[in-house]
Amino acid sequence: MIVTTVNKNMNRPKARILTSFCEISKLEIVDLLIKGEKNVTEVQTHFGFSQAKTSRHLNHLKYVGILDSRRENSSMIYFVDKSNYNFVKNIVDLLN
């Protein structure tokens, strides 16, 4: 049996980002948003997801620091968070 220990100094925010890519739908959303910002309806229409699934995924991706958003009139616009852009793009490129 191989036993490993978790490094207590592990970069937890980056680890949370990595675990978010375990679900293909979230990876697909991020791949789309790397190419340019979109509002919720555009993401929903692109993938054919329900409004609830789209919102759940976008909110999770924002919570872990992959995405950020801003309000424009009555729409929420989502985009890849600038502070994690290179890290996220490298992962998405590697997984594609």
Domains detected in the chain? 12-95 (1.10.10.10)
* Residues 23-45: tens digit of each pLDDT: 999 999 999 999 999 999 999 99
Better-predicted residue by pLDDT, 84 or 10: 84
Q: How many other C-beta atoms can be found within 10 angstroms of the C-beta atom of residue 73?
A: 6
If you average pLDDT over residues 63-88, what whole number do you get? 95
Binned at pLDDT 50, 70 and 90, residue 9 comes out as low
Q: State the pLDDT at residue 8.
A: 61
pTM for the structure as a whole:
0.84
**Nearest residue to 37 via CA among 78, 89, 83, 81:** 78
Q: Which residue has the higher pLDDT, 26 or 7?
A: 26
Cβ atoms of residues 92 and 86 within 8 Å:
no
